Structure 1
Amino acid sequence: MSTYPKVNETKELIKQLVSIPSPSGNTTKVIQFVEEFLKDLQVETKRNRKGGLIATLPGTNEEEHRMLTAHVDTLGAMVKEVKSNGRLRLDLIGGFKYNAIEGEYCEIHTSSGKVFTGTILMHQTSVHVYKEAGDAKRNQENMEVRIDAKVENAEDIRKLGIEVGDFVSFDPRVQFADNGFIKSRHLDDKASVAILLQLIKRVKEEKLTLPYTTHFLISNNEEIGYGGNSNVTPETIEYLAVDMGAMGDGQSTDEFTVSICVKDASGPYHYGLRKHLVQLAEKNKIGYKLDIYPYYGSDASAAIRSGHDIIHGLIGPGIDSSHAYERTHEESLHHTEQLVYEYVKSEIVSY
């Protein structure tokens, strides 16, 4: 049995979220899922014109607000070309490399609502035919989708209703290991969405009144740079993005603590808010790591760039192999859940 309260609920929510295809630009179904989840908690929501979802919990102080955000949009692709060999050429959505999806199962979502399965492969995959199979570049020219249908040419594909501009999503292949590890695509950032939904549920169940009116933005365009750059109320003082912590050489982030980002490609996050988060973690015995993410931007940095006069921060569970087949651990989920919980109950510090 897990040592972490309700972690199995969070994991099940992650499984449900990652199983709903939602590449940036095609996120209606996952937003509907989140909307229904919050409706069951009797939390009122509204959608912005970009298709994101905003939930608000009234607080004691209605003159000063907080905003927390996580994003449901994921990496994905679009059909770039219907090829004469009966396969599809892709154009990528989001910042990742073709090698991260080689051999992955996928779905092609047509504009009429039909869904076809396929596999993303190198054109030169067969070592019995292509001498350069191992050396050829993994790029748009060489990689293609093999559709699970009897198609031999472009005309056959179009008869199925597949066309340029159709969205392509990747099989998440979510798995839970007995020792607490969670493997799946799109933990960035559906793990954080699950954490925020669990936070809202906990606040409702405990009948807490937060010190400040707090908005939760479930954004749907973060992977392409502008998910959380709007709908920030003029009363908002602090804006906290909950997104994945990046792991790799030279990083301190791991899969067992909450990562507090001090700087990413957009520059430093607010020093005072960062110190406040650290103090909350230490006071409540929450495992954390401070880190810099060198090639990264968040909804919070998008909001800053849009000109909002806010104090911005970024935290999240540590995710290994970001933008590929990702992994985290339930300990990291637990520490992140605890930090956001303590944060929304805390007073805004005079920075």
Structure 2
Amino acid sequence: MTILHIDLDYLADTLEKLLSIPSPTSYTDNIVRHCGQELDRLGVPFEVTRRGAIRAVLRGKKRRPARAIAAHLDTLGAQVKQVKDNGRLGVVPVGSWSARFAEGARCTIFTEQGSYRGTILPLKASGHTYGEEVDEQPCGWEHVEVRVDARSSNADEAKKLGIDVGDIIAIDPQPEFLENGFICSRHLDDKAGVAVMLAALQALIPVKNKLPVDVYFLFTIEEEVGVGASNILTEDVASLIAVDNGTTAPGQGSAEFGVTIAMADHNGPFDYHLTRQLARLCADNDIFHQRDVFRHYRSDVASAVEAGHDVRTALICFGIDASHGWERIHVHALRSLAELITAYVLGPVKFTRDAEEIGPLKDFTRQPMAEAEQELTSDVTLEEED
């Protein structure tokens, strides 16, 4: 098939707007409203769950076996654990991330009376006061605190501001969009995935009458705490693909360019047939790609399977450097992902049997068992080698 054109200006602009809206897990109402307004503008019908997960749909020629693409709107953040005697705030993380990356971060504290700005600092923040102790103090959430940018020199003053235990703290993303295509920011996980999905949707709308089956675009709100897509699928969905980050690091196969296809996460391998179908689509459509395995990673699809959904699963990634920290990606990967999504949802359904949850063994899938044929690389025989 011919690859659909992806509007990179729209993709980048969408990502920048998403990054500007604070959305730590549990504080996602505003970004849900923004995403819903964008779907309305695109003319894509959707519905919203009680707590805010979004299920949008492009109708295909058949209802089943429907396909679903998912990304999450929620990000990492922090929460007030204690209003301290010095007027500063003890905090705990929302999601899994290191206090090493929190030190020095500018942030917003959301109270019931309004928001305040602040900075996350180590307990010993001044070399002029503590000397070498600044470098010797441990790293950890119990060793940082939030300095509030308001009159808050003791606990009473902090509480008069309306600050209390449980208040949510959003970390500034500080995005930079470079002319060479690199994007540096916090919270690219997974607002870049959301931007990819919206860009793919924009490209698909003019040709939606060619979709062989329904396609659901799912925007979840609790992936960073493990809930993910556990409660958003319909019975029609037979395959679920998450769009998220792939960690670039020594020993990993992910790259900041092209599509990274995850073959497994810490829950185990993804669906054999779906992952290889995606790899073939990349090869057939000249989409640069690589494979990877993640041992300390889970995504929306893991939560869906754990919740009991019998769906084929896969994870496609944009390579990200320093995930859950000072993240960096490249627009090439975002474009490649959007292209792959469009190629996948416009392509024929590989297993029509998946339209039903239960079926006979007769038309069940097969996996290769025969011994691979080996090509001789020289005219040396086994006897000669012995």
TM-score when scaled to structure 1?
0.96
Task: Give the CA deviation at 1:41.
Answer: 1.5
Greater alpha carbon shift after TM alignment, 130-139 vs 119-128: 130-139
* Equivalent position amino acid for 1:121 in 2: L
Q: Does 1:127 align with 2:124?
A: no
CA distance in 2, matches of 1:172, 1:236: 34
Residues 65, 213 of structure 2: 8 Å contact kept: yes
Greater alpha carbon shift after TM alignment, 202-211 vs 147-156: 202-211
Greater alpha carbon shift after TM alignment, 23-32 vs 231-240: 231-240
Q: Does 1:70 align with 2:71?
A: yes
Greater alpha carbon shift after TM alignment, 131-140 vs 151-160: 131-140
Match of 1:166 in 2: 167
Task: Give the CA deviation at 1:266.
Answer: 0.9
Match of 2:273 in 1: 272
Residues 6, 199 of structure 2: 8 Å contact kept: no
- Distance verdict in 2 for CA 1:208–1:320, change over 3 Å: farther
CA distance in 1, matches of 2:348, 2:224: 31
Residues 241, 314 of structure 1: 8 Å contact kept: yes
CA distance in 2, matches of 1:100, 1:34: 28
Greater alpha carbon shift after TM alignment, 74-83 vs 61-70: 61-70
CA distance in 1, matches of 2:161, 2:18: 28
Q: Does 1:116 align with 2:116?
A: yes
In structure 1, the residue corresponding to 2:128 is in which secondary structure?
coil
Residues 58, 209 of structure 1: 8 Å contact kept: no
CA distance in 2, matches of 1:63, 1:275: 21
| Residues 105-149 of structure 1: CA deviation (Å, up to 9, x unaligned) | 00001123x111111000111112223211211222220001111
Alignment of 1:277-316 (within 5 A): 277-316=278-317
The number of equivalent residue pairs is 347
CA distance in 2, matches of 1:260, 1:147: 42
| Residues 33-81 of structure 1: CA deviation (Å, up to 9, x unaligned) | 0000001122111111232111011111113211110001000011110
Match of 1:24 in 2: 25
- Unpaired runs of 5+ in structure 2? 352-364, 366-386
CA distance in 1, matches of 2:272, 2:6: 31
Task: Give the CA deviation at 1:295.
Answer: 0.5
CA distance in 2, matches of 1:138, 1:183: 24
Match of 2:372 in 1: none
In structure 1, the residue corresponding to 2:118 is in which secondary structure?
strand
Task: Give the CA deviation at 1:5.
Answer: 4.6
| Residues 12-48 of structure 1: CA deviation (Å, up to 9, x unaligned) | 1111001100000110000000000001122111111
Q: Does 1:201 align with 2:236?
A: no
Match of 1:344 in 2: 345
* Equivalent position amino acid for 1:128 in 2: H
CA distance in 1, matches of 2:290, 2:179: 25
RMSD over equivalenced CA pairs, Å? 1.2
CA distance in 1, matches of 2:280, 2:40: 34
| Residues 146-180 of structure 1: CA deviation (Å, up to 9, x unaligned) | 11112210111111111111100001000011111
Residues 278, 344 of structure 2: 8 Å contact kept: yes
* Equivalent position amino acid for 1:260 in 2: I
CA distance in 1, matches of 2:230, 2:155: 40
CA distance in 2, matches of 1:231, 1:174: 30
In structure 1, the residue corresponding to 2:218 is in which secondary structure?
strand
Residues 266, 294 of structure 2: 8 Å contact kept: yes
CA distance in 1, matches of 2:321, 2:212: 35
| Residues 193-215 of structure 1: CA deviation (Å, up to 9, x unaligned) | 01111111111134543111111
Q: Does 1:100 align with 2:88?
A: no
CA distance in 2, matches of 1:333, 1:63: 28
Task: Give the CA deviation at 1:231.
Answer: 2.5
In structure 2, the residue corresponding to 1:244 is in which secondary structure?
strand
Alignment of 1:143-292 (within 5 A): 143-292=144-293
- Unpaired runs of 5+ in structure 1? none
Match of 1:40 in 2: 41
Task: Give the CA deviation at 1:253.
Answer: 0.7
CA distance in 1, matches of 2:153, 2:183: 39
CA distance in 1, matches of 2:156, 2:63: 60
In structure 2, the residue corresponding to 1:134 is in which secondary structure?
helix
* Equivalent position amino acid for 1:124 in 2: K
Match of 2:360 in 1: none
Residues 98, 139 of structure 1: 8 Å contact kept: yes
Residues 282, 289 of structure 2: 8 Å contact kept: yes
TM-score when scaled to structure 2?
0.88
Residues 77, 169 of structure 1: 8 Å contact kept: yes
- Distance verdict in 2 for CA 1:268–1:284, change over 3 Å: same
In structure 2, the residue corresponding to 1:328 is in which secondary structure?
strand
* Equivalent position amino acid for 2:147 in 1: R
